[in-house]
Amino acid sequence: RAKSAGGNRYEVADAEADARAITRHGLTTALPMALDRSEFFIEYQPLVHLEDGTVRGAEALVRWLHPQHGVLGPDRFIPLAERTGLIVPLGRWVLEQSVRQAREWQERHRDKLGAGPLRVNVNLSPCQLTHPGLVQDTVDILERAGLEPDTLCLEVTESALIGADDEVLKPLRRLAEMGVDIALDDFGTGYSNLANLRRLPVSVLKLDRSFTQGMQQFPADPVDLRIVEGIVSLAHSLDLTVTVEGVETGAQAEQLRILGCDTAQGWYYARPGPPERLHDLALVDATG
Ligand code: C2E
Ligand code: MG
Ligand code: MG
Ligand code: MG
């Protein structure tokens, strides 16, 4: 009996694995066409200044409106795009759209706000980093849109830069020299040597959501608090700005503000949404 039950379970697991493989295969074949068919779109999630609560910009997060499967999150298709090479044109498209969007926010805001320009953060995959066109593409996109380089921030994960040699860092250095901010995304998950930070052309640390989760209770776990406190003070001593991801409650926001974090992002403020909404949120904060 045990054997047949085991056999059944195996069949079920197998069927699920098959279904997943079929979906993955289907997505992989549909992916190259999706860009031409304009099935991708971008949602923007506000970046909020922790001290005064104003919206300072937003992170661009790509989605795929699949004709059969509905809206798919990046975790479903970015790995496939990386494997097939589509990530290079897709990433370029995301950058171009986001830079144009930032330019539009700025135009609508110019006369209304005394605050600085709204900035935009765009994620880069490791494949884009090693692609020879990165610097020139970025320069062209910024110029075409008429956006100042210092209102763009490119996010690169910590794991993409671990052990990166000078060849890989060179394009990022060029971009940083032009004034583009480079953020180290998901910081704290990649076991990187803290001293290594000095070598990287980054100006922003994005503290991974796992740290924010540790701040859920009030008061938070004292060890968690001290770890974040240490990272923040190290980051500030290296002239880096600290952004925290995954802020879901007011208690978390308050703890992280007390710990000296600069900027926050998370559902507590807003879920990722259409670009018009960022404009409205920024206006509300500035006037109310
Ligand atoms: P990420 O860059 O770390 O982006 C933050 C992720 O956390 C987003 O997931 C966002 O929706 C989610 N998030 C934001 N606030 C909260 C919160 O309060 N609680 C929780 N639980 N989650 C929150 P999303 O949109 O599914 O993106 C996942 C990842 O996909 C991103 O992680 C990024 O690495 C990648 N990605 C997104 N867009 C692009 C892109 O255009 N290019 C590349 N290469 N990667 C992208
Ligand atoms: Mg990111
Ligand atoms: Mg992140
Ligand atoms: Mg993350």
Q: Look up the pTM and report it.
A: 0.91
124 confidence band (pLDDT: 50, 70, 90)? very high
Atom of ligand 1 nearest to the CA of 87: 44
Question: ∠ at Cα 156 (198, 46), nearest 5°?
Answer: 110
pLDDT at 75 over 50: yes
Instruction: Quote the pLDDT of residue 57.
Output: 94
Strand 55-66 relative to strand 119-123, pairing: parallel
Q: Tokens for 85, please give them.
A: 């090479």
Lowest mean pLDDT among 48-52, 87-91, 183-187, 189-193: 189-193
pLDDT of residue 288: 40
Q: Which residues contact 238 (CB under 8 A, 6 or more apart)?
A: 197, 198
- 228 is written with which tokens? 């974040």
> Is residue 155 predicted with pLDDT exceeding 90?
yes
Q: Is 85 in the pocket of ligand 1 (CB under 6 A)?
A: no
Q: Whose CA is nearest to atom 4 of ligand 1?
A: 61
Average pLDDT, rounded, for the chain = 88
Report CA dihedral (165, 169, 170, 172) to the nearest 10 degrees.
170
Tens of pLDDT, residue by residue over 202-245, are 999 999 998 888 887 777 788 888 989 999 999 999 999 999 99
Output the pLDDT for position 136.
98
Q: Is the CB of 73 under 6 A from ligand 1?
A: yes
Residues near ion ligand 2 (Cβ under 5 Å): 123, 155, 185
Question: Which of residues 58 and 4 earns the better pLDDT score?
Answer: 58
Q: State the alpha helices, DSSP H only, in the chain.
A: 2-36, 74-84, 87-109, 126-129, 134-145, 158-161, 166-178, 209-213, 222-237, 250-258, 275-287
- Ligand 1: residue whose CA is nearest its atom 14: 266
Cβ-based neighbours of 227, under 8 Å, separated by 6 or more: 211
Give percent of the chain above pLDDT 90.
Answer: 67
Q: Give the pLDDT confidence of 236-274 residue by residue, as tens digits.
A: 999 999 999 999 999 999 999 999 999 999 999 999 999
Give DSSP secondary structure letters for 113-126: -SSPPPEEEEE--H
Report residue 71 as tokens: 């809206």
Ligand 3 centroid distance, CA of 32 (Å): 26
Ligand 4 centre to CA of 209 (Å) is 6
pLDDT at 139 over 80: yes
* Of 80-94, 99-113, 225-239, minimum mean pLDDT range: 99-113
Residue 115: predicted pLDDT: 66
| Segment 173-191, tens digit of pLDDT | 999 999 999 999 999 887 6
Which atom in ligand 1 lies closest to the alpha carbon of residue 157? 34
The two structure tokens encoding residue 102: 């930032």
User: ipTM above 0.90?
Assistant: yes
What spacing in Å lies between the alpha carbon of 107 and ligand 2's midpoint? 25
CA distance 76 to 16: 16
Confidence band of 198 (pLDDT split at 50, 70, 90): confident
91: Cβ below 6 Å to ligand 1? yes
For residues 110 and 104, what is the distance between their CA atoms, to the nearest angstrom? Answer: 10
pLDDT of residue 238: 92
- What average pLDDT does the segment 144-156 reach? 97
Q: Which residues contact 54 (CB under 8 A, 6 or more apart)?
A: 48, 115, 282, 285, 286
* Residue of the CA atom closest to atom 46 of ligand 1: 123
pLDDT of residue 286: 47
Would you state the structure tokens that stand for residue 87, as one six-digit string? 């990530």
The pocket of ion ligand 3, defined by CB under 5 A, consists of: 185-186, 245
Residue type, 6: G
pLDDT mean over 129-150? 96
Distance (Å) from CA 124 to ligand 2 centroid: 8
Q: Looking at residue 214, what is its pLDDT? A: 82
